[in-house]
Amino acid sequence: MTACTTQVVIIGAGIQGSAAARELAARGVDTIVLEADYAGRHASGVNAGGVRTLNRHVAELPLALASKKLWQRISEMVDDDCGYRQTGQLQIAIDEESFERFRIRNGEIARAGLPHMERLLTPSAVRELVPDFVGPLAGGAYVGDDGYALPFHTTQAFRRKAQALGARFIEGATVNAAMNGGSEWCLSTKEGHEVRAKQVLNCAGAWATEVGKLFGDDLRIKPNGSMQIVTSRLPRFLSPVVGITGQSIAAKQFENGTVVIGGGRRSPVDIDIRRAELTLPGLVLAARQAAKFFPLLNEAIVVRCWSGIEGFTPDGLPLIGFGNAPNVVHAAGFSAHGFQLGPAVGMVLADLITVGRSSISLDPFALDRFQET
């Protein structure tokens, strides 16, 4: 049982909560993070590690581009390189229609005036990048300075740096009640902790809707499982991270030769017991599809697979902003692409807490966009 007082309490020590804690602590703000399990236990620690601006929703690109700049100085931010590698990310179009969508998208990016370019590649340029690809090929879209990082390692690095700067983390602390006492909030946990704070950040990932209700907000984030496969080591054949349009397949090969296959195969979750299930048919399909495009994978064995719990919004964009109750900020619903955004989300949340606004527009992430009028 712990009772303490702080300026800011953060609920959830995933990448968003830990990055916000690091930034708040760096700005001298007294911060406590309450985490139901342990830092990085859920989506932030078990994701595919893709650090990708390629093919992101145009409305999300300003935040993703700000994050890319932070990733490029990640060692300086958290005293750890987080396994960050700018290997490039490639999206392959296997038919003309998909390739045409890349062209349209580049037009949208240009019209939005964003300093971002997704290089369109001819089939032969794609083959040069991924000589082992087999299958129909209309072209590709490529961002050379995208890449990947190690997710659990990264989340822990943010947490360690936040702690070094003075933030306190309490693990095994599941927030289940919140009372507004006028000038401060009093949060209680299932395990018996009590924390009083002037400001609250809800970074509870797939549980953010339940946490939001404690503050009277209806966030409409739905939990879902997302599955991954890791293979045995293979000779080097994949340099960029590769996605294949319309196939729910993404693959990356780490420096040790193992290949992570993901790309959005969903599975059921039980958020009460905090577990995601693996569904064999989905895994088999993902493995078969990946091996169809990269036959070398037929020589690998599956050494590990898992499913991580993620919170999804109806439009796939996160919810970031102030709730209805005073001094409460929500940041959740990252819909399977929030790892890359983490460093910038940490900055944005610290801005909301310390100055009440963000220099990056949060309009696309408005909390009330799903409310019926």
Ligand X SMILES: Cc1cc2nc3c(=O)[nH]c(=O)nc-3n(C[C@H](O)[C@H](O)[C@H](O)COP(=O)(O)OP(=O)(O)OC[C@H]3O[C@@H](n4cnc5c(N)ncnc54)[C@H](O)[C@@H]3O)c2cc1C
Residues that bind ligand X (CB under 6 A): 11-17, 34-37, 41-44, 46-50, 174-175, 203-207, 211, 226, 228, 262, 308, 310, 332, 334, 336-340
Amino acid at 14: G
Tokens of 34: 């309450």
Q: Which is nearer to ligand X, 105 or 252 (CB)?
A: 252
Minimum separation from the CB atom of position 174 to ligand X (A): 4
Q: How far is the CB of 3 from ligand X (least distance, A)?
A: 17
Which is nearer to ligand X, 110 or 366 (by Cβ)? 366
135 neighbors 93 (Cβ within 8 angstroms): no
CB of 215 to ligand X, least distance (A): 12
Q: What is the distance, to the nearest Å, from the Cα of residue 167 to the centroid of all Cα atoms in its chain?
A: 22
Minimum distance of ligand X from residue 264's CB (angstroms):
8
Minimum CB separation of residue 353 from ligand X in Å reads 16
Q: How many CB atoms lie within 10 A of CB 239?
A: 14
Closest CB to ligand X belongs to which residue?
A: 14
Task: Please report how close the Cβ of residue 288 comes to ligand X at its closest, in angstroms.
Answer: 19
By beta-carbon proximity to ligand X, the closer residue of 156 and 174 is 174
| Cβ-based nearer residue to ligand X, 29 or 204 | 204
The CA angle 174-180-183, to the nearest 5 degrees, is 120
**Which C-beta is closer to ligand X: that of 140 or that of 205?**
205
Q: Return the number of the residue (137 or 238) whose C-beta is nearest ligand X.
A: 238
Closest-CA residue to 274 (of 32, 17, 43):
43
Task: Enumerate long-range contacts of 121-130, CB under 8 Å, 24 or more apart.
Answer: 121/90, 126/90, 126/92, 129/88, 129/90, 129/239, 129/240, 130/90, 130/92, 130/238, 130/239, 130/240, 130/242, 130/294
Residue 316 half-sphere exposure toward CB, CA atoms < 13 A: 9
In whole angstroms, what separates CA 152 from the centre of its chain? 12
As given in the structure block, the two tokens for residue 105 are: 């998208």
